[in-house]
């Protein structure tokens, strides 16, 4: 599907997704403002904006980071992944309102450049309690900006999937910086246990979900492979559901073995679009369909149907009785391999 980074286009589903996001943002900001004005009316408008948008951004970041592991734990979360980039860009915008307002409020109209001031006003870099926490927020915002700016598939196509993926893994760095930004910053002074408890709980949920989902995958990677003349044993035919795949690991690479129309075919597990797990996809209209954004590949040769040009590696399989074996040597992407008949 390569001609066309536009392929993942606007559709009803995406509009609904965006509408829900928009609604959540309004609910949050209104909720924060109404509660602050009714219980703590001496606030200043600037502080209200800085705090409402800062706390909204961190909440959104938590939800975004939860979607990944949730989809690996339960496939029904998959639609949340589909339009996650809008979620990410909106989160960046919320964080940017917070950051820009903070810079205007605390650093403009002074005797040095505002950006220089972020780094040089508080110089206690060697103290934890006095640490210049705004620097951490600033670095996080830069990372989030780079991610938002390159989130379009245009960049994916032009940066190579590996670079893009690496860039987008930096969200974990940004998350760590933000958590430090809060705990070394606002929470040194705004010490309510409500706040500390809430953000602590959020971070715990993120870590726990990732560990839990990670375990599920490690199990696939470490499943014992027994060898026979260089062929790896995978499973028996009955272990694979019709139109679905079984994943295995060959020479450190994950491979997906699909069963369909009484045949078996094996392809490399990694979707050429954004690295989605093809093995969690399904055969739809005769094509392996990626669970993330629906890119498609023909099981017999690992190629996207024309006019698209994506290709993934293919593998040889053999059947002994009802036992499925795979040759761990990958063929070049797009190499036709005859499916084996069951």
**CA–CA gap between residue 250 and residue 232 (Å, rounded):** 8
Q: Are 105 and 46 in contact (CB under 8 A)?
A: yes
57 binds ligand FES (CB under 6 A): no
Query: Which stretch, 76-84, 139-147, 278-286, 309-317, contacts ligand HEM (CB under 6 A)?
Result: 139-147
Cβ-based burial of 153 (10 A; exposed 0-12, middle 13-18, buried ≥19) = buried
- Tell me which of other proteins, ligand HEM, ligand FES, none is bound by residue 171, counting a contact when its beta carbon lies within the kind-specific cut-off of 5 to 8 angstroms: none
106 binds other proteins (CB under 8 A): yes
- Tell me which of ligand FES, ligand HEM, other proteins, none is bound by residue 178, counting a contact when its beta carbon lies within the kind-specific cut-off of 5 to 8 angstroms: ligand HEM
Q: Are 72 and 117 in contact (CB under 8 A)?
A: no
Contact map string, positions 259 to 278, toward ligand FES, x by CB under 6 A: ------------x-xxxx--
Of 186 and 326, nearer to other proteins (C-beta) is: 186
141 binds ligand HEM (CB under 6 A): yes
183 binds other proteins (CB under 8 A): no
| Interface with other proteins (CB under 8 A), residue from 3, 4, 22, 110 | 110
Site for ligand HEM in 37-66 (CB under 6 A): 47, 50-51, 54-55, 57-58, 61
With a CB cutoff of 8 Å and minimum separation 6, the contacts of 102 are: 50, 54, 134, 137
How many CB atoms lie under 10 A from the CB of residue 46? 13
308 binds other proteins (CB under 8 A): no
| Tokens standing for residue 113 | 């450049």
Query: Which stretch, 37-45, 240-248, 286-294, 297-305, contacts ligand FES (CB under 6 A)?
Result: 286-294
Looking at residue 12, the DSSP 8-state letter turns out to be: H
Q: What CA dihedral angle connects 180, 183, 188 and 192, to 10 degrees?
A: 170
**CA–CA gap between residue 196 and residue 21 (Å, rounded):** 25
* Antiparallel, parallel or unpaired: β 227-228 and 253-260: unpaired
Query: Which stretch, 68-76, 91-99, 231-239, 303-311, contacts ligand HEM (CB under 6 A)?
Result: 91-99
Of 107 and 254, nearer to ligand HEM (C-beta) is: 107
List the one residue out of 172, 197, 171 whose CA is nearest residue 183: 197
What 3-state DSSP class applies to 193? helix
Please name the residue that has the structure tokens 């970041």.
Answer: 61
**Residues near ligand HEM (CB under 6 A):** 47, 50-51, 54-55, 57-58, 61, 95, 98-99, 102-103, 106, 118, 134, 137-138, 140-141, 144, 178, 181-182, 185-186, 190
**Residues near ligand FES (CB under 6 A):** 271, 273-276, 290, 292-295
């Amino acid at each position: 599907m390569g001609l066309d980074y536009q392929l993942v286009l606007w559709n009803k589903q995406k509009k609904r997704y965006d509408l829900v996001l928009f609604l959540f943002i309004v609910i949050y900001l209104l909720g924060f403002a109404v509660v602050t004005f009714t219980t703590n009316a001496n606030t200043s408008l600037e502080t209200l904006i800085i705090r409402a948008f800062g706390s909204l951004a961190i909440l959104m970041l938590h939800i975004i980071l939860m979607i990944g592991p949730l989809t690996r734990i339960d496939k029904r979360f998959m639609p949340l992944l589909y339009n996650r980039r809008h979620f990410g860009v909106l989160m960046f915008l919320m964080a940017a309102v917070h950051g820009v307002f903070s810079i205007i409020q605390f650093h403009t109209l002074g005797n040095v450049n505002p950006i220089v001031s972020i780094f040089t006003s508080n110089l206690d870099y060697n103290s934890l309690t006095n640490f210049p926490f705004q620097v951490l927020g600033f670095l996080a915002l830069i990372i989030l900006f780079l991610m938002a700016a390159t989130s379009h598939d245009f960049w994916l196509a032009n940066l190579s999937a590996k670079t893009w993926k690496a860039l987008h893994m930096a969200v974990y760095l940004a998350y760590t910086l933000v958590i430090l930004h809060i705990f070394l910053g606002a929470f040194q002074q705004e010490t309510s246990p409500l706040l500390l408890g809430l953000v602590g709980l959020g971070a715990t949920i993120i870590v726990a979900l990732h560990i839990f989902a990670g375990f599920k995958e490690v199990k696939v990677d470490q499943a014992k492979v027994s060898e026979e003349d260089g062929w790896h044993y995978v499973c028996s035919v009955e272990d694979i559901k019709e139109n679905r795949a079984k994943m295995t690991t060959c020479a450190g690479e994950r491979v997906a073995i699909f069963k369909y129309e009484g045949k078996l075919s094996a392809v490399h597990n990694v979707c050429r679009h954004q690295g989605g797990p093809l093995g969690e996809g399904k055969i739809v209209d005769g094509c392996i369909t990626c669970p993330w954004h629906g890119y498609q590949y023909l099981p017999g040769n690992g190629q996207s149907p024309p006019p698209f040009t994506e290709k993934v590696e293919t593998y040889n399989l053999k059947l002994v009785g009802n036992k499925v074996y795979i040759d761990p040597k990958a063929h070049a992407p797009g190499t036709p391999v005859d499916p084996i008949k069951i």
